Amino acid sequence: MKKGVFSYLALALILSMLHLSAPQEVRAEEKVKKPYTVTLQSKDGKVVGEAKLVETNNGVVIQVIAEGFDPGFHGIHFHETGKCEGPDFISAGEHFNPFKKEHGLKNPKGPHAGDLRNVNADAQGKINTTFITPRVTLMKGKENSLRDLDGSALVIHQNVDDQMTNPSGNSGARIVCGVIK
């Protein structure tokens, strides 16, 4: 489940470069910061994986490696409070939404800053995916920081997120949670 820090940095750098304007070269300001590790736990407190978050100039790169899911797509979101008390993870609060938008990447009045694309668990129930979001930061003191006074949480849901319906895209129960402080 664990990989070397170099691979995370290299991956974040590559993703960051894809979003640069021409010429396609790494500029000094594109240096990637140290990865932030989020331990993911199931409703019964068992560690089921981790997420690596890396700040870049183009947003936060998120790599999720976890297991124990039903095969198929699952909603994943940043939630507003850094608490993961099982079994329902309601302690994580609502979706992280500092700009008061509506839910969903496809919603014309959205998305929440914490809305993310769905993740896919393979036939063995494993998730191994990497993506980027420009709507949040790990830098303290920013309005859209995941590391504000009470932190935030990364939550994976039971079902697929429809990316439109308030408040959480009909993504169902919160089944995995990880604290971000």
Please write the tens of the pLDDT for every residue from 70-99. Answer: 999 999 999 999 999 999 999 999 999 999
Q: Which of 79, 147, 148, 161 is an active site residue?
A: 79
- Give me the torsion for CA of 52, 120, 7, 83, rounded to 10°: 10
Burial 46-59 (b: 16+ CB within 10 A, else e): eebbbbbbbbbebb
Contacts of 31 (CB under 8 A, 6+ apart): none
Please spell the DSSP secondary structure of the chain, one letter per residue.
Answer: ----HHHHHHHHHHHHHHTSPSS----GGGPPPPPEEEEEEETTS-EEEEEEEEEETTEEEEEEEE--PPSEEE-EEEESSS---TTT-GGG-SB--TT---S-TT-TT---TTB---EEE-TTS-EEEEEEESS-B-STTSTTBTTSTT-EEEEEESS---SSSTTTTT---EEEEEEE-
Q: Which residue has the higher pLDDT, 66 or 5?
A: 66
- For residue range 8-58, list pLDDT tens digits in order: 444 544 444 444 332 233 334 444 468 999 999 999 999 999 999 999 999
Q: Which of 74, 115, 148, 161 is an active site residue?
A: 115
Is 115 tagged catalytic?
yes
- For residue range 120-134, list pLDDT tens digits in order: 999 999 999 999 999
Separation CA 52–CA 45 (nearest Å):
19
Q: Which of 74, 103, 135, 147 is an active site residue?
A: 103
* Number of structural domains in the chain: 1
Q: Which of 74, 135, 147, 174 is an active site residue?
A: 174
Is 19 tagged catalytic?
no
Domain that holds residue 94: 5-180
Q: Which CATH number is 138's domain given?
A: 2.60.40.200
Q: Which of 74, 77, 135, 147 is an active site residue?
A: 77
Q: Which of 74, 147, 157, 161 is an active site residue?
A: 157
Is 95 tagged catalytic?
yes
Separation CA 39–CA 10 (nearest Å):
21
**pTM to 2 decimal places:** 0.83
Is 174 tagged catalytic?
yes
Report how far apart, in Å, the C-alpha atoms of 125 and of each of 39, 65, 67, 175 are. Answer: 18, 11, 6, 13
**What is the predicted pLDDT for the residue at 11?**
52
Is 148 tagged catalytic?
no
Q: What percent of the chain has pLDDT over 70?
A: 82
